[in-house]
Amino acid sequence: MRTCCAALILLTAVTLAASSRAQDRSQTRSMVISRNGIVAAESPLAAEAGVRILESGGNAVDAAIATNAVMGVVEPMMNGIGGDLFAIVYDAKSNKLYGLNASGWAPKALTIDYLRNLGEREMPSKGVNSITVPGAVDGWQKLSTRFGRKKLADDLAPAILTAQSGFPVAEWTDIFWTEDAPRFLQGDEARKLYLPNGHAPAVGEIFRNSDLAWSLQQIARDGRDAFYKGAIAAKILDAMKKYGGSMRAGDLADYSAEWTEPISTTYRGWTVYEMPPNGQGLAALEMLNIMETFPLGQDGYGFQSPNALHVMIESKKLAYSDLVKYIGDPRGKSLPVATLLSKQWAAQRARQIDPYHANCNATAGDLPSGGDTTYLTVVDREGNMVSLIQSNFASFGSGIVADGGGFVFQNRGGLFSLDPSSPNALAGHKRPLHTIIPGFAQKGNIRLAFGIMGGWNQSQAHAQFISDLADYGMNIQAAMEAPRFTKLTFAGCDVVLENRFPVATLDALTAKGHEIGLRGPFTANVGGGQAVLRDVSTGVNYGASDPRKDGEAVAEVPLQSPN
């Protein structure tokens, strides 16, 4: 009898302990865990399209293209064939990373003098003179040709069908569509396309885009040439002529995305990879290097503590000030990437952080002589991984639509500087400093593809995500959901925090001089992200999706045994 009671007591204790852990868990959802492929995207429709490609024999690259193409249909304000793309591909067989920079260049005639003669004193953020050549379609072609297992036409088929048959508008999408379309769209073509019946489609309302279906069909049939030299190019050039743009046929025909080597740093045993300039990923790596000089995760620097947050916020200011001063398009220029990535530089910059006071006037260090975006990620059953980010830049980009094309042009050119001395100075066939960055990390047998969207939020969000994993031992779903800060400005002491941070932490940060703008518990201000992780030793995949978006991580249902 005593043995029975003891067993019952033990079982009750174990049950209560498990129940306590469940009750105390801070994340809102569990990771998706599978031996087969996983697609994580900010739209379930797009993620499911990618999964169907995996289930029909495609690999991670095929699924990423399919997912991205559907995202361009269901979230047209954020991304599409009128925007740019960056990707990091992990090839499991060779255990190597490949970076693709599919960001577009400025038209050859779009120069500082050209805009000055038009009376511009700052780089336009909307309209025809903010448009650069869209790089996404050439990016798809290069990814498909080098790594894809299926034809590009197969990868684009779900997006074509979705555009033709229509889709019900999701909640987050409705918010951005309703708020931004009436403000930013320019011209009858754009308003007719995105404001059918005179208004933005509401949640659950079916939206169809036969023009975009036509454009995707041209690309499926003729590849990238349809966009840069063929039928779509003709529509693009007609729009340039109508709105007085400087883009010409050669600007499109001569464009080519570039394969490049990701840059990296180490952080608490992790190796973290970002794309090199012209992207902002270098700021995430420099920020991590500065943070590593402080004992985050240890006594006095615990999770959500004022000391830890102060260090991260101040690190952001220093890293971003270096980015803006020294980084632009590296082609034909010598940029100080190695110096800014060095641990010695980080140690020097870390000494600028006052533990008791916020710095409202952070400036770039002295060198020694001498948004709006979509992010998606895929892992397949073989362990190949893709970290892909794609964007129109601001919501609805430039606001201009090519008649019959079904897509809006990006306004990425708005990030150029009209200061001739800047490394980011506008010039023909030059790419601007870019905000969108895919991330990748590894530690031992772990491979991790991740990204968090939101303009200049991205590098600081990447650093916080890695810190949550490395310093605080979170899994990828918990780290994706953890409360974040963001500082979208480059000067001042203003900073935005979600209201899930403890009141005592907020009070302590205010006492240090931080000017806090408090937002809701899962605000879009701090961006939304996705992540997939693979344990190479077990062959098990994990997926995470940010509740700050409409999306989810979806696992492949195998059509045959993985072994």
Q: How far is CA 187 from CA 235, 239, 398, 515, in A?
A: 15, 10, 11, 40
Q: How far is CA 30 from CA 33, 458, 481, 552, in A?
A: 9, 24, 11, 11
Q: How far is CA 559 from CA 64, 66, 269, 379, in A?
A: 20, 19, 37, 17
Contact 433, 278 (CB under 8 A): yes
Which residues does residue 485 pair with via DSSP β-bridges, in sequence order? Answer: 497
Contacts 24+ apart (CB under 8 A), 203-207: 203/168, 203/169, 203/170, 203/171, 203/174, 204/168, 204/169, 205/168, 205/169, 206/166, 206/167, 206/168, 206/169, 207/166, 207/167, 207/169
- Nearest-5° angle of CA 544, CA 179, CA 43? 25
Query: Which residue matches tokens 């169907």?
Result: 52
Active-site residue identified among 111, 373, 377, 486: 373
Concatenated DSSP letters for 214-237? HHHHHHHHHTTHHHHTSHHHHHHH
| 28 given a catalytic annotation | no
Contact 72, 207 (CB under 8 A): no
**Max Cα–Cα distance, the chain, nearest Å:** 96
Contact 532, 385 (CB under 8 A): yes
Query: Tokens in use for 137?
Result: 């379609």
Query: Tokens in use for 219?
Result: 């690309």
Contact 410, 397 (CB under 8 A): yes
Query: Tokens in use for 276?
Result: 């090199």
Query: Tokens in use for 363?
Result: 């400036």
Q: Which residues are catalytic?
A: 373
